[in-house]
Amino acid sequence: MRGIEKANPETLYGIFGDAQWTNKERLSDSLLRDLIEHFSRIDLGNQAAQADVLGQSYEYLIKKFADATNKKAGEFYTPRSVVRLMVNILDPREGESIYDPACGTGGMLLEAIHHVKENHGDDRTLWGKLFGQEKNLTTSAIARMNLFLHGAADFQIVRGDTLRNPAFFLGDNLATFDCVIANPPFSLEKWGEEVWASDPYGRNFAGMPPAKSGDYAWVQHMIKSMAPKTGRMAVVLPHGALFRMGAEGKIRTKLLGMDALEAVIGLGPNLFYGNRKAAVGNHGRACGCQRGNERLLTICNRSITVIPCSQSRHCPNLSNGWTLCPTRRCAGWSRRASSVWNAA
């Protein structure tokens, strides 16, 4: 196993951690022999199985582990239906760079690869252009193993704290990417406020997020990581990120004034492991919300308006009960959304 790590220093360094693989009490010779003999009975050659069979099996096991651990799964696994929605909106193309600053087990980067292969052709044009950062040591190792088993030939997954110590640079500035996508930790406390007070990369351009919630620290980091002309972004946030006032309200106002938001997408309840709060997807310049059991999807011309689906019966239905609603441009966000809820 150490030989595998040494043979692939750029992608698989440290993936097996510091486990005591020679501990006979934990992993006896007979158990190892039975494991090898079991897999030896299965023909895994390219003529007998799909080239991606090991990668698919690994992803299947990650999903099963997520189902079993429930609350803990939210730290590393995003439901694949949500991932597919975000990737389809971003629509990554051949040769574009893709970045996930909170990559977990690498599912969003994988879905981007699949999207390019299924819709635009040669996914090999993404090799060397896939980037992710993950704070948890074990989870970052799983992400690298996941991408490797799915055939990704060249990628960079770095273990580290994105908000305190971002990993990717172009000269003295943050590196920028065509597609920026993430499901960061919801309302993260102790996220690094002390560093951002004088952030050398200018990530507090819209304001300082409160110490008890790092949601808008992630948003601002991701916006700064977007390429100037081709950059687009999708992020998942908790429902409260839309309506909390104070510092976050000021940041929202600043982002709207910059015309930095493009769409509102509301997700249904209980989609995420161990978290009953509604989650939202941002795309390009985007944000979203959900109230009760009502599912919302509003896409405007660079504006934000929230309309309950019960008021939009004649809009064309999308999959899973989503609704697409054309709206007029509006100047406010929280004020307009609040007036809609009060009227409903």
* HEC per residue, 67-126: HHHHHHHHHCCCCHHHHHHHHHHHCCCCCCCEEECCCCCCHHHHHHHHHHHHHCCCHHHH
Tell me the mean pLDDT in the region 306-315: 33
Query: pLDDT tens-digit profile of 118-164?
Result: 987 899 999 999 999 999 888 888 889 889 888 888 999 999 999 99
CA 37 vs CA 4, 24, 48, 96, 209: distances in Å: 20, 18, 18, 42, 55
DSSP code string of 1-20: -HHHHHH-TTT-TTTTTT--
Query: pLDDT tens-digit profile of 179-216?
Result: 999 989 888 999 999 999 899 999 999 999 999 999 99
Cα–Cα dist 296/325, whole Å: 9
Residue 54's pLDDT is what? 62
Residue predicted with more confidence, 326 or 190:
190
What is the pLDDT confidence band of residue 114, given thresholds at 50, 70 and 90?
very high
Residue predicted with more confidence, 320 or 344:
320
**Sole residue written with tokens 């007070």:** 197
Residue 279, SS3?
A: strand
Tell me the mean pLDDT in the region 91-117: 93
Half-sphere exposure of 31 (CA within 13 A, CB side): 8
Cα–Cα dist 251/196, whole Å: 14
Query: pLDDT tens-digit profile of 34-89?
Result: 988 998 888 876 677 665 566 677 667 767 766 666 555 455 567 778 888 889 88
What pTM, to 2 d.p., does this model score?
0.74
Nearest to 276 by CA among 236, 306, 239: 239
What is the pLDDT confidence band of residue 332, given thresholds at 50, 70 and 90?
very low
Cα–Cα dist 257/236, whole Å: 21
* 87, 182 Cβ separation under 8 angstroms: no
* Bridge partners, 263 (sequence order): 286, 299
Residue 69's pLDDT is what? 62
What is the pLDDT confidence band of residue 282, given thresholds at 50, 70 and 90?
very low
Nearest to 109 by CA among 69, 75, 151: 151
What is the pLDDT confidence band of residue 3, given thresholds at 50, 70 and 90?
confident
Question: Does residue 111 surpass a pLDDT of 90?
Answer: yes
With a pLDDT cut of 90, the percent of the chain lying above it is 33
Nearest to 180 by CA among 104, 120, 126, 103: 103
CA-angle at 342, arms to 339 and 344, nearest 5°:
105
What is the pLDDT confidence band of residue 285, given thresholds at 50, 70 and 90?
very low
Question: Does residue 254 surpass a pLDDT of 60?
Answer: yes
The pair of structure tokens assigned to 52 is 């991606």
* Bridge partners, 302 (sequence order): none
Start-to-end C-alpha separation, the chain? 60
Q: Which amino acid is at 118?
A: E
Residue 199's pLDDT is what? 94
Residue 207's pLDDT is what? 95
Nearest to 277 by CA among 182, 184, 187: 187
